[in-house]
Amino acid sequence: MGRKGEKTREAIREQAYRLFAEKGFKSVTMSDICERTGLSRGGLYRYYAGTEQIFSEILSEEYEIADRIERKEPAGAILDDMLSAIYAEIMEKERSLSLAIYEYANMGNEPFFAEINERAKKRWISLLEYGAGTGEFREVDTGAVSELILYYYQGLRMWSRVISFDEKTAENYEKMIRQILRRE
């Protein structure tokens, strides 16, 4: 019963994702999504009541993935993973939602993103503490350093849409973070 609908739902999200990545949140209309999916208005509205609904569904998928990093490896190895994930994200561009997310955040969804951000910061703090405990990292002001890691990354990610970075810029990020954490 009703199996085809799920395929369409996914196709809608897939196409909408691309549109949001291209144009941000505000500039995407339901008509745009109709066009891309080949659906009519009636067809599309059967699934989603508007762009906000589609976007928030995309977002929850997105952050679900980002949130499930939880292991018990050496701090250095975890750091490697996180930095290479970040490197990839800075370099990808085409699928970057940074504009859409930022627009959406500024439309009354501040608390949600404050929360996301708080969690990310806590994750970094606990990694830094853990690494300092095992002696892999230098002792640092974990609050300040995790903010640096996060906002430096945000700045890069956002402006990589506007300025065409070479790999050097993304490498510099990694290099600076490692340098800050390196034991002398």
Partner DNA sequence: TCAAAAAGCGACAACAATGTCTCTTATTTC
Partner DNA sequence: GAAATAAGAGACATTGTTGTCGCTTTTTGA
**Interface residues with DNA (CB under 7 A)?**
1-6, 8, 29-31, 38-43, 45-47, 49-51
Q: Does 163 bind its own copies (CB under 8 A)?
A: yes
- Is the Cβ of residue 57 or residue 174 nearer to its own copies in the bound state? 174
Residue 17 contact, options DNA, its own copies, none, Cβ 5-8 Å cut-off depending on partner type: none
Please tell me whether residue 87 binds its own copies under the rule CB under 8 A. no
List the alpha helices (DSSP H) in the chain: 4-23, 30-37, 41-47, 51-67, 75-92, 98-105, 110-133, 142-159, 167-181
Nearer to its own copies, 43 or 155 (CB): 155
**CB of residue 158 vs DNA: minimum separation in angstroms?**
24
Q: According to the binding rule CB under 8 A, does residue 66 interact with its own copies? A: no
| Cα diameter, the chain | 64
Closest by CA to 17, choosing from 47, 44, 56, is 56
Q: Quick one: DSSP state of residue 72?
A: -
